[in-house]
Structure 1
């Protein structure tokens, strides 16, 4: 079937469940994204929408677009980032400061750029 181009690669039976789990998750997530794109750009056909999704993924990831597991990790990270951004947008400065203070010093250093006084 690989030689005929029907499938991309052979699948070992012991990995079949994991493979199809991530394939289904990816296809469902992709379908939801394509539906949302169709609502915002009804004049765009499905192939154009898929090309845009692939371009978005490839710009932000070094992994192959055909890797279902990598794609789901990337999309999950984007959803989490959007949720955090939505929560942060409505938070008060005091709430943001309290949240930052709950982080470990190492994590705060990762997230916050050093101030000019610390560089001297």
Structure 2
């Protein structure tokens, strides 16, 4: 597959890096600027001729003879050698243009895109279906956990901070300690996510901290503190009967 020019503006992962990931097949090309156009800017005829003068032994020899002819004042030889040099350069130009084009193409491969951070990973087409199935499942599972995490901690926790926190919890698990680079292993993440024991306690800690932060403002006002029992009573009236009994029992345990 190939993308050309303005198409990159539409699919650039930096537009929404939380949700857009870019991949390329091993044979893919970016073609932001076609190789022929690239060499017209970066490797013009002048540069190609200079390259010939450095690499082609016949041209090097002719230019040495031209220099000697100029020093000896042999103008007939100078004119003849200049014509031979121009003829040689004309003969070599198509081949050097082809080499320059290939050189420009090699700067636009999928491996080069990965090295520059344009794409996340290089894929083989024959394995892409299973790869994208696992990758999409991984993102869906991550997003569901991020949603739980932000509900527990409050909306002040942004998407990136949520991912960093999940990564931290994962890295502390036994699954992560089994091998290096486990975070990049989708199968390892699935095993970790499928066991709520790996993160439910941590989610509960975030819920407690969120409620504590909400109640901390009450502590700054004596009148708010006096109103707190009535507020709790009003809250309990709105709660399901079974949940109310559980909350009352837990509050008694805390107060005792």
Q: Give the TM-score normalised by structure 2.
A: 0.29
Matched, 1:56 2:174: no
**What CA deviation, in whole Å up to 9, does each residue of 1:46-97 have, x standing for no partner?**
2111111001111111342122222112212x14x68xxxxxxxxxxxxxxx
Alignment partner of 2:153 out of 41, 55, 64 = 41
SS state at 1:44 partner: coil
Shift of 1:3: 2.1
Query: 2:182 matched to 1:69?
Result: no
- Aligned with 2:121: secondary structure? coil
Once the two structures are TM-superposed, the CA of residue 7 in structure 1 deviates from its matched residue by 2.4
For the residues of structure 2 that align with 1:15 and 1:72, how far apart are their CA atoms?
A: 19
Give the root-mean-square deviation of aligned CA atoms: 1.8
Find runs of 4+ consecutive structure 1 residues off by over 4 angstroms.
none
Measure, in 1, the Cα distance between the counterparts of 2:157 and 2:122: 34
Mark the runs of 5 or more structure 1 residues left unpaired by the alignment.
83-120
Secondary structure of the 1:65 match is helix
Contact 1:54 1:65 survives alignment (8 Å): yes
Partner of 1:25: 137
Aligned length in residues: 80
Larger Rg computed on CA atoms:
2
Question: Could you tell me which residue of structure 2 aligns to residue 2 of structure 1?
Answer: 114
User: How much has 1:10 moved relative to structure 2?
Assistant: 1.3
TM-score by length of 1: 0.59
More helix by share: 2
Q: Which runs of 5+ in 2 are unaligned?
A: 1-112, 199-256
